[in-house]
Structure 1
Amino acid sequence: MPSDRARAPTPRSLSGLLPFLRPYRARIALALLFLVLAAAATLAFPLALRELIDGGLQPQDRGVQLLALREHFALLFGVAAAMGVFSAVRFYLMSWLGERVTADVRDAVYHHVLQQSPEFFETTQTGEVLSRLTTDTTLVQTVVGSSFSMGLRSAVMGLGALAMLVWTNPLIMAQVLLVLVGVVLPSIWFGRRVRRLSRASQDRVADSSAIAAEVLNAVPVVQSYGAEAREAARFDAATENAFGTARRRVRARAMLMAFIITATSGALLWGLYQGTQAVLAGEISAGHLGQTVVYIIMLASSFAVLGEVYGELLRAAGATERLMELLASQSPITSPAQPLPAASPAAGTAIAFDHVTFHYPSRPAQAALRGFTLGVAPGETVALVGPSGAGKTTVFQLLLRFYDPSSGAIRLNGVPLPQQSLQALRAQIAIVPQEPVIFSSSALENIRYGRPDASDEEVQAAARAAFADDFIRALPDGYATFLGERGVRLSGGQRQRIAIARAMLKNPPLLLLDEATSALDAESERMVQAALETAMRGRTTLVIAHRLATVQQADRIVVIDQGRLAEQGTHASLVAANGLYARLAALQFKS
Structure 2
Amino acid sequence: MARRREIPAEESPKVKFSKEAFKESLIIFKYLKPYRGTFIVGLIFIALSSGTTMAFPYLLKKLIDSAHGIGTGPLAFSPGGIALVMISVLSLQMIFSFMRIYLFTYVGENAVADMRKEIYQRLIIMPIDFFGQRRVGELSSRITADVSQIEDAVTSVLAEILRGILTLIIGIGCILYISPQMTLLMLSVIPFIIVIALVFSKRIRKLSKDAQDQLADSGTVVQETLQGISNVKAFSNEWYEIKRYDNSISNMVKLAIRNGKMRGFFVSFLMFSVFGAIVLVVWYGAGLMQRGVLSFGDLTQFVICTAFVGGTMAGFAELYSQLQKTLGATQRVRELLKEQVENVSVEQHHIENRFKLKGNVSIDHIAFSYPSRSNMEVLKDISIEAWAGEQIAIVGPSGAGKSTIVSLLLRFYDADKGHISFDGIDATDFPLSQLRSQMALVPQDILLFGGTIYENIAYGKPDATRDEVMAAAKQANAFDFISSFPEGFETVVGERGIKLSGGQRQRVAIARAILKDPVILLLDEATSALDSESEAQVQEALTNLMRNRTSFVIAHRLSTIRNADKIIVMEDGRVKEAGTHAELVEIEDGLYRSLNRLQMFKEA
Q: Shared topology, TM-score over 0.5?
A: yes
Deviation at residue 483 of structure 1 after TM alignment: 1.5
Unaligned ranges ≥5, structure 1 = 61-65
Task: Determine the C-alpha separation between the residues in 1 that align with 2:30 and 2:304.
Answer: 40
Which residue in the other structure is 1:567 paired with? 577
Which residue in the other structure is 1:282 paired with? 292
Which residue in the other structure is 2:387 paired with? 377
Task: Determine the C-alpha separation between the residues in 1 that align with 2:513 and 2:532.
Answer: 22
Which residue in the other structure is 1:447 paired with? 457
Do the aligned residues in 2 keep the contact of 1:515 with 1:543 (CA within 8 Å)? yes
Deviation at residue 57 of structure 1 after TM alignment: 4.3
Which residue in the other structure is 2:348 paired with? none
1:571-586 aligned at under 5 Å gives the runs: 571-578=581-588, 579-586=590-597
Match among 52, 65, 73 for residue 41 of structure 1: 52
Deviation at residue 340 of structure 1 after TM alignment: 11
1:2-13 aligned at under 5 Å gives the runs: 2-4=8-10, 6-11=12-17, 12=22, 13=24
Which residue in the other structure is 1:510 paired with? 520
Matched, 1:15 2:15: no
Deviation at residue 241 of structure 1 after TM alignment: 2.5
1:473-488 aligned at under 5 Å gives the runs: 473-488=483-498
1:69-108 aligned at under 5 Å gives the runs: 69-108=79-118
Task: Determine the C-alpha separation between the residues in 1 that align with 2:533 and 2:81.
Answer: 94
- 1:295-316 CA distances to partner (integer Å, 9 max, x unpaired)? 0111111111111111111112
For residues 67 and 195 of structure 1, do their structure 2 counterparts lie closer, same or farther at Cα, with a shift above 3 Å needed?
Answer: closer
Which residue in the other structure is 2:3 paired with? none
For residues 2 and 27 of structure 1, do their structure 2 counterparts lie closer, same or farther at Cα, with a shift above 3 Å needed?
Answer: farther
Do the aligned residues in 2 keep the contact of 1:342 with 1:424 (CA within 8 Å)? no
Which residue in the other structure is 1:223 paired with? 233
Task: Determine the C-alpha separation between the residues in 1 that align with 2:64 and 2:549.
Answer: 93
What secondary structure sits across from 1:373 in the alignment? strand
Which residue in the other structure is 2:255 paired with? 245
Do the aligned residues in 1 keep the contact of 2:369 with 2:379 (CA within 8 Å)? yes
Task: Determine the C-alpha separation between the residues in 2 that align with 1:261 and 1:246.
Answer: 22
Do the aligned residues in 2 keep the contact of 1:342 with 1:425 (CA within 8 Å)? no
- 1:392-416 CA distances to partner (integer Å, 9 max, x unpaired)? 1100111111111222211112222
Do the aligned residues in 2 keep the contact of 1:335 with 1:418 (CA within 8 Å)? no
Task: Determine the C-alpha separation between the residues in 2 that align with 1:219 and 1:534.
Answer: 33
Task: Determine the C-alpha separation between the residues in 1 that align with 2:211 and 2:362.
Answer: 50
Task: Determine the C-alpha separation between the residues in 2 that align with 1:307 and 1:88.
Answer: 24
Do the aligned residues in 2 keep the contact of 1:279 with 1:286 (CA within 8 Å)? yes
State the AA in 1 paired with 2:343: T
What secondary structure sits across from 2:188 in the alignment? helix
For residues 528 and 4 of structure 1, do their structure 2 counterparts lie closer, same or farther at Cα, with a shift above 3 Å needed?
Answer: closer
1:77-156 aligned at under 5 Å gives the runs: 77-156=87-166
Which residue in the other structure is 1:160 paired with? 170
For residues 534 and 326 of structure 1, do their structure 2 counterparts lie closer, same or farther at Cα, with a shift above 3 Å needed?
Answer: same
- 1:48-86 CA distances to partner (integer Å, 9 max, x unpaired)? 1111111144299xxxxx982221110110111011000
Do the aligned residues in 2 keep the contact of 1:358 with 1:369 (CA within 8 Å)? yes
What secondary structure sits across from 2:36 in the alignment? helix
Deviation at residue 546 of structure 1 after TM alignment: 0.6
Deviation at residue 369 of structure 1 after TM alignment: 0.7
State the AA in 1 paired with 2:459: Y
Do the aligned residues in 1 keep the contact of 2:521 with 2:546 (CA within 8 Å)? yes
What secondary structure sits across from 1:543 in the alignment? strand
For residues 108 and 485 of structure 1, do their structure 2 counterparts lie closer, same or farther at Cα, with a shift above 3 Å needed?
Answer: same
Across the aligned residues of Structure 1 and Structure 2, the Cα RMSD in angstroms comes to 2.1
Task: Determine the C-alpha separation between the residues in 2 that align with 1:342 and 1:265.
Answer: 76
Which residue in the other structure is 1:394 paired with? 404
Which residue in the other structure is 1:63 paired with? none
State the AA in 2 paired with 1:334: N
Query: Which segment drifts farther, 392-401 or 520-529?
Result: 520-529
Task: Determine the C-alpha separation between the residues in 1 that align with 2:259 and 2:143.
Answer: 22
Task: Determine the C-alpha separation between the residues in 2 that align with 1:267 and 1:153.
Answer: 23
Deviation at residue 40 of structure 1 after TM alignment: 0.4
Do the aligned residues in 1 keep the contact of 2:108 with 2:154 (CA within 8 Å)? yes
Do the aligned residues in 1 keep the contact of 2:355 with 2:434 (CA within 8 Å)? no
For residues 48 and 236 of structure 1, do their structure 2 counterparts lie closer, same or farther at Cα, with a shift above 3 Å needed?
Answer: same
Query: Which segment drifts farther, 14-23 or 249-258?
Result: 249-258
What secondary structure sits across from 1:538 in the alignment? coil
Matched, 1:344 2:353: no
Which residue in the other structure is 2:62 paired with? 51
Deviation at residue 422 of structure 1 after TM alignment: 0.9
Do the aligned residues in 2 keep the contact of 1:151 with 1:305 (CA within 8 Å)? no
Query: Which segment drifts farther, 7-16 or 276-285?
Result: 7-16
Which residue in the other structure is 1:590 paired with? 601
Deviation at residue 550 of structure 1 after TM alignment: 0.2
Task: Determine the C-alpha separation between the residues in 2 that align with 1:71 and 1:479.
Answer: 74
For residues 537 and 224 of structure 1, do their structure 2 counterparts lie closer, same or farther at Cα, with a shift above 3 Å needed?
Answer: closer
Match among 219, 235, 242 for residue 245 of structure 2: 235
Matched, 1:334 2:340: no
1:482-561 aligned at under 5 Å gives the runs: 482-561=492-571
Do the aligned residues in 1 keep the contact of 2:182 with 2:284 (CA within 8 Å)? yes
Do the aligned residues in 2 keep the contact of 1:344 with 1:413 (CA within 8 Å)? no
State the AA in 2 paired with 1:468: A
Task: Determine the C-alpha separation between the residues in 2 that align with 1:35 and 1:553.
Answer: 77
- 1:74-101 CA distances to partner (integer Å, 9 max, x unpaired)? 0110111011000000011112222222
What secondary structure sits across from 1:355 in the alignment? strand
- 1:339-386 CA distances to partner (integer Å, 9 max, x unpaired)? 9986435xx411111221111122222211111111111111100000
Query: Which segment drifts farther, 386-395 or 170-179?
Result: 170-179
Aligned residues: 581
- 1:204-259 CA distances to partner (integer Å, 9 max, x unpaired)? 11111112111111122112212111222222222223233333333332232223
Task: Determine the C-alpha separation between the residues in 2 that align with 1:253 and 1:5.
Answer: 25
For residues 210 and 344 of structure 1, do their structure 2 counterparts lie closer, same or farther at Cα, with a shift above 3 Å needed?
Answer: same
Which residue in the other structure is 1:212 paired with? 222
Do the aligned residues in 2 keep the contact of 1:46 with 1:291 (CA within 8 Å)? yes
Task: Determine the C-alpha separation between the residues in 2 that align with 1:390 and 1:287.
Answer: 89
Match among 450, 458, 478 for residue 468 of structure 2: 458
For residues 342 and 356 of structure 1, do their structure 2 counterparts lie closer, same or farther at Cα, with a shift above 3 Å needed?
Answer: farther
Deviation at residue 7 of structure 1 after TM alignment: 4.3
For residues 67 and 252 of structure 1, do their structure 2 counterparts lie closer, same or farther at Cα, with a shift above 3 Å needed?
Answer: closer
Task: Determine the C-alpha separation between the residues in 2 that align with 1:59 and 1:16.
Answer: 54
State the AA in 1 paired with 2:34: P
Do the aligned residues in 2 keep the contact of 1:275 with 1:289 (CA within 8 Å)? yes
Unaligned ranges ≥5, structure 2 = 1-6, 346-350
Q: TM-score, normalised by structure 1?
A: 0.94
What secondary structure sits across from 2:189 in the alignment? helix
What secondary structure sits across from 1:577 in the alignment? coil
